Amino acid sequence: MKHQIDHLDKKILKLISQNARIPFLEVARECNVSGAAIHQRVQKLINLGVIKGSQFVIDTYKIGYQTCAYIGINIKDMSLFNDVIAKIRAIPEIVECHYTTGKYAVLVKVYAKDNKHLLNIILDRITSIEGVGNTETFQMSLDEIFNRQLAAFDDDNDADGEDETEG
């Protein structure tokens, strides 16, 4: 089944991705439609899986997590992949996990209180998981410059003003 993501949907997505707490009535005013129409469209986008949720963003520095690192993880036995991922998911300091190409099967983003805490996470929690081979810490983030949602809702470049999305 194909679902149309039209100009109004894209405008709604652009507005709510910039501010997830924006009132629907304000979105409605910006889009020149009723609040009920916005509510229905947002619900449709949630049901389609286009909108996966909303969240508050916590400033990690202000709660004592001063170190951010990106770590590549090699999985020795890919038959253990799902078990490894379940155990990685259980480590609360790991906030992102990506299945990747290249030397490492998995790339994770980790927040730690300091370098000693990061070392503890790597040695005692990640490498102790059955199936994990070696790890490599690629980068330490000194400071987050920006973090945003995908802003590719500019449909001025669309020939017909509409895109199709599988649902």
What does DSSP assign to residue 58?
A: P
Res 148: pLDDT = 80
- How far is it, in rounded angstroms, from Cα 67 to Cα 112? 5
What does DSSP assign to residue 57?
A: P
List of E strands, 37-122: 67-75, 94-99, 106-112
List of E strands, the chain: 2-5, 67-75, 94-99, 106-112, 132-141, 163-166
Q: Which amino acid is at 89?
A: R
Mean pLDDT, 10 residues at a time, over the chain (167 residues)? 80 90 95 95 94 87 95 94 97 96 94 96 97 91 84 52 41
Query: What tokens were used for 134?
Result: 């070696």
Q: Which amino acid is at 93?
A: E
Give tens-digit pLDDT for 13-56: 999 988 889 999 999 999 999 999 999 999 999 999 999 988 88
- How far is it, in rounded angstroms, from Cα 76 to Cα 105? 10
Res 81: pLDDT = 96
Res 51: pLDDT = 92
